Structure 1
Amino acid sequence: MVGRGELTDKAWAAIAPLLPAQSGQRGGRCRSHRQVINAILWKERTGAPWRDLPERYGPWKTAHERLR
């Protein structure tokens, strides 16, 4: 289910092939590209501080670092 302001399946299908593969990531569990992109979209849409990122998007530091 896609929430308001999140990537639709059609939009995701268009950009997913352009993103790097997620295999071989260092550290622990890797966040999906889609989850991180939705987090970045939420931040840009709301203008809220990164620390206010809802839990459904994972750790705010992960989204912030991937955007940087």
Structure 2
Amino acid sequence: MQSDAQWAFLGPLVEACRPKAKTPPLDLRRTLSAILWRHQNGAKWRAIPQVLGPWWRAAQIFIR
């Protein structure tokens, strides 16, 4: 997961470029951590650890 300092930098950038939906994504910080974990490890989406949330949510947000 990102540190608080990293998220303080990334959070506003992500928020500025994400589409404004009716319902904001749940726990965007955790989902972004899952996406970064997957790419750092070269793993498949389903290999994302449970502590980073559902794999399908990270995949869906990444695709969007």
Q: How does 1:1-68 map to 2 (within 5 A)?
A: 6-18=1-13, 19=15, 24-25=22-23, 30-68=25-63
Residue by residue, what CA displacement relative to the aligned partner does 1:3-59 show, whole Å, maximum 9, x if unpaired? xxx211111001212315x99418xxx521100110011100111111111000111
Normalization by structure 2: what TM-score? 0.77
> Which blocks of at least 5 consecutive residues in structure 1 are unaligned?
1-5
| RMSD of aligned residue pairs (Cα, Å) | 2.1
> Which blocks of at least 5 consecutive residues in structure 2 are unaligned?
none
Runs of 4+ in 1 over 2 A off after TM superposition: none
3-state DSSP of counterpart to 2:26? coil
